[in-house]
A and B are shown apart, each in its own frame.
Chain A
Amino acid sequence: MKLRSLFLSALCLMATGAVFTACEDDDDNENWNENAEIILPKQRAFVLNEGIYGMNNANVSFYNPATGEVTADIYAKQNGGLKLGDTAQDMISYNGDIYVVMNGSSYITRLSGAGVELARYEFTETQGQPRYAVAEDGKVYVTLYSGNVARLDAKTLEFEKMVAVGNNPEQLVEEDGKLYVVNSGWGYDNRLSIIDLQRFDSAQHVEIMTNPQRIIEVDDHIFIQGYGAAYPDPYTYPVQLYDRVTKTVSTIGQGTHMAEYGDKLYVAYCSTADWVNYTTTFYTYNVRTGQKSETSFLKDAPAEVTAGNVYMLEVNPENGEIYVGITHYAAGEGDIYRFKADGTFLGSFESGGQSPNAMVFF
């Protein structure tokens, strides 16, 4: 089954004569329903539910943006009841496929655009558990908690090579032939690692904030977010703009989550004073003008969003629709709030698992 689908996928690939481009979401693949138990429409969205550590209850839900329907645990339904595993960390789309990075279960999987598993790579104990992934030119790059970035073949998920970066690397982006990786060191690292993709043999390091977590590219501009401090110092949650020329950072504000659309960076800043009640503010930053707009990009956000525990901020690259994920951790399944590109509230749905942390759109 697996071999056949691999073979078919390979055939498709040759038939379409696909040339990989820098574009992250290439929707050319028209055969997403191949071998699927449940046939999915062309317009699709998937939600990654992290699950609770140690509970093997991570999953992927299918969301139909046209009807608003959710199919919980589409992975199990498309793969004979198989569980996804423990602690899902990241999900990306590439060339019509979905890639899911499993931190607890320590593997990366390639799923078809309907959620059928096509390939999998289980990381070894010395390679360490994976965190985040980015795909480029037929390769998938994965940060590993051993302090490395691994390169895998995007189709077969064959492990090719890994390059040492800082301690406990988290998110990474590709920009102009280079990988940019933030290293948290669980509070004891403050570096950005830069790897030339052509050579892929070593990393250069630039000092940024302490304890960085996230990195995103907005119209050729790189933004970094993190704790800004190591325990027991108070966390400051800075959002920094990285200048690739001067190799310096400038802080543009505070935030806990970032997303991008067009020439804008979207930031959500979820904070709490008493560890029980939350407030989330939303703002944008225009990379063209260098101007920050404090006006929320959500026009009529319900209280569940502004006073909720925001766990995810995603924008559909096709139409600019904004999705905000709220977690209840072990106390219940997550909720996702959907807004039009102009910030009008469209509705909400249950994410079908605990702690929704990523979405992909087709």
Chain B
Amino acid sequence: MSVRYVLNLLVLSGLLNIPVCAQSVADTLHAIDEVTVEARRTPLSVASAAPVQSVGRDRLEALGLQSVADAVKRFAGATVRDYGGIGGLKTVSVRSLGAAHTAVSYDGVTVSNTQAGQIDIGRFALDNVEQLSLAVGQGNDLLQSARAYASAGILSIRTQQPTFADGRDEAWHVRLSGGSFGYITPSLRYARKVSSRTSLMLEGDYMRADGIYPFTLDNGRTESIERRRNSDIYSWHAEGNLHHTFRDGSHLVGKGYFYKSERGLPGSVVLYNPTARQRLWDENFFTQLTYDKHFSHQWQMRALAKYNHAWNRYEDTNVKYAGGRQVDVHRQDEYYASATVRWIPAHWLSLSLAEDGFVNTLRNNIDDSPNPVRLTSLTALNAAIRYGGWNLTGSLVATLTTDRVRSGKRPADRRHLSPSVSLSWRPWESEALYLRTLYKNTFRVPTFNDLYYRRSGNTALRPEDAEEFNVGLTWSARPWRWLRNLSLTVDAYYNKVEDKIVAFPSVYVWRMANYGEVEIHGVDATLAATIALARGWEAELTGAYTFQQALDLTNPQAKNYRDQLPYTPRHSGNASAVVKTPWLSVGYTLMAVGKRYFMDQNISANEIAAYVEHGISLSRSFPLGKGCSLHLQADVQNLTDRQYEVIKYYPMPGRSWRVGATVSF
């Protein structure tokens, strides 16, 4: 009864043609406990009290998505700022809160950039990703680090774990892919079972692309075909993972990660002046250890430690600089440790306490640089109560940061308590239908650039405050035999950002100031369906739709008062279909983004046109026997060769292709 009612409701409200990127996630304690009529697992996207979306390896491959950014921009409510091209900066913002409010974690440990506050997700290769998930608020896992609770949203990247064919203790994975704009990537992965308790995995890849792609430049009476220049990229990535299970059942994972790149920064297209000579060199090394131990049913713990080193060198050649060249070198280090203890005193109650401590440093080659050192302590106290169909979780995060500087003004220490609470209710045990609601308060500490950047930095900045409210309805079922899975989620939200840190123009000088105020109303809707077509034939459909009204309420006198924030479409959505046949898997994606503005004032001169982008992918695996297999893949992105921009004057590539072959043995 309820099922049909909800379906009718959704059909009537036109939501059924709007789909999603949700994948079942197996490893929640919850899902295992649920016993549904069909013995299906309820997808995490449906059962979670906080909105979470994920996409797994199979789907990433079947759809031919080419980068982490490509996948993330298909999550409802996520906005990826993509500066175009393979090496172009790509940052993610959840529900218009800004990139600095979205944490990124790599295999369970947060990736940080205290200098700029935003993570370039363009640097993570998709080839070794097992699963990507984006959570608003936080996940249900009470063993998370305090840092995972401290952000408004978190993008989790989980890489592939070693798997071994029956009776083998070695696995090789060799891949070569190539495509348009001089793109080529060889990669190699080797996994070895060292003992019954220990396995080791090593991987490495190289990527190069000249990045020279054509684009149409429209300038009044003239329309010309130009080429994107100084857009080349060369990168190297190596990673090693060690998994060990101790005799007491506790588990240790160690990781070493290295990334190095050199790239040209093409900059924005400047009319009549094609000169682009900026270059960037990057190096990033980190090593992390994660240790999990279950003492008993009542007590568990997780501990982790990480050291991160990031270095970059920016160079611009122009006669306007003394000596004809500007060179900036930055070096950041982070030392991070975290421990979480969970206590389950009763079957309906879990409590956890997480404590994180980290030290961040920045050094650079700029005169009078204050070389800041920041000490941060985060403490998160969490509780989860389950009673019947009710699920209540609450967290309180206490933040303490203090900065030390070599010279100049030192900002005041910051202390803050951030509460969050979520509640979900499943009215009928027989029906995977949930009502959920969430409140979360988060704040972001000003970045080193906000505070200390030459000329524009302002040490008097206060943290930026964000509040999120969410109500949602989720449902998952197998209404008919041929419809193997149908999942729907609809969330409405209200966010408010106060004391927003913005670059504020003053007399000839830009200064960072706590000036902005933003109010966001939005709706995210997702749909996923798996349809059995015939024996060996299956179709997976997903869709997502986002409505966002993100208004600038900073200054009632300003011309942009109550105007939509730049680069925030009111309407955006995407759809995908994967058809699996015994011979071939065909993937199709569509992404539609409505009209946006590239500047604060919502006037027609500041508009960026809406666009629709299509992609298609064909893939097939050939078993070669003895645990050997060959996987072939061919993709075409931007099938209709649509010229569009995400960021104004950073044109996106037109139609492009990619082919790849992977041999596993």
Interface residues of A (CB under 8 A from B): 52, 54-57, 76, 79-83, 85-86, 102, 104-107, 122, 125-129, 145-147, 167-168, 185, 188, 213, 227, 231-232, 235, 237, 256, 270-272, 275-276, 278, 309, 327-333, 354
Contacts and interface: CB of A to CB of B under 8 A. Distances in A.
Interface stretch (B173-181, B337-345, B392-400, B598-606): B598-606
B505 interface: yes
A327 B598 CA distance: 18
Contact of A102 (B222, B272, B598, B648): B272
B33 interface: no
B219 A330 contact: no
Interface stretch (B66-74, B307-315, B507-515, B652-660): B507-515
A217 to B, nearest CB: 22
B272 to A, nearest CB: 4
Among A105, A106, A232, A329, find the residue whose CB has the most chain B CB atoms closer than 10 A: A232
B599 A55 contact: yes
B225 interface: no
A79 B221 CA distance: 8
Contacts of B649: 54-56
7 contacts: A54-B270, A146-B320, A167-B322, A232-B368, A235-B509, A276-B513, A332-B558
Given A83-B271, A168-B320, 4 more contacts: A55-B649, A107-B273, A276-B513, A278-B506
Interface residues of B, number: 42
Contact of A227 (B270, B318, B508): B508
A241 B219 CA distance: 45
Interface in B352-371: 368
Contacts of B220: 76, 79-83
Interface in B497-528: 504-509, 511, 513, 515
B319 interface: yes
Contacts of B319: 125-128, 145-147
Contacts of B648: 55
Contacts of A55: 268, 598-599, 648-649
Contacts of A86: 270-271, 273
B560 interface: yes
Given A52-B599, A128-B320, A231-B455, A331 B408 contact: no
B214 interface: no
Contacts of A309: 505-507
B517 to A, nearest CB: 13
A148 to B, nearest CB: 9
A165 to B, nearest CB: 13
A328 B558 contact: yes
Interface of B: 219-222, 267-273, 275, 318-320, 322, 368, 408, 454-455, 458, 504-509, 511, 513, 515, 555, 558-560, 598-601, 603, 605, 648-649
A331 B270 contact: no
Is chain A's binding surface mostly helix, strand, loop or mixed?
A: loop
A125 B507 contact: no
Nearest to A52: B599
Given A80-B221, A188-B322, A276-B504, A85 B600 contact: no
B600 A54 contact: no
B222 A331 contact: no
Contacts of B271: 56, 83, 85-86, 105
Contacts of B601: 330-333
Contacts of A122: 272-273
Contact of A125 (B275, B505, B515): B275
A210 B454 CA distance: 18
A259 to B, nearest CB: 17
Nearest to B511: A275
A74 to B, nearest CB: 13
A256 B270 contact: no
Contacts of A168: 320
B322 A331 contact: no
Contact of B507 (A52, A56, A147, A271): A271
B322 A104 contact: no
Contacts of B555: 331
A36 B490 CA distance: 56
A167 B272 CA distance: 25
A83 B219 contact: yes
Given A76-B220, A231-B454, A275-B458, A85 B320 contact: no
Given A275-B513, A329-B505, A56 B270 contact: yes
Nearest to A122: B272
Given A83-B219, A85-B270, A167-B322, A272 B560 contact: no
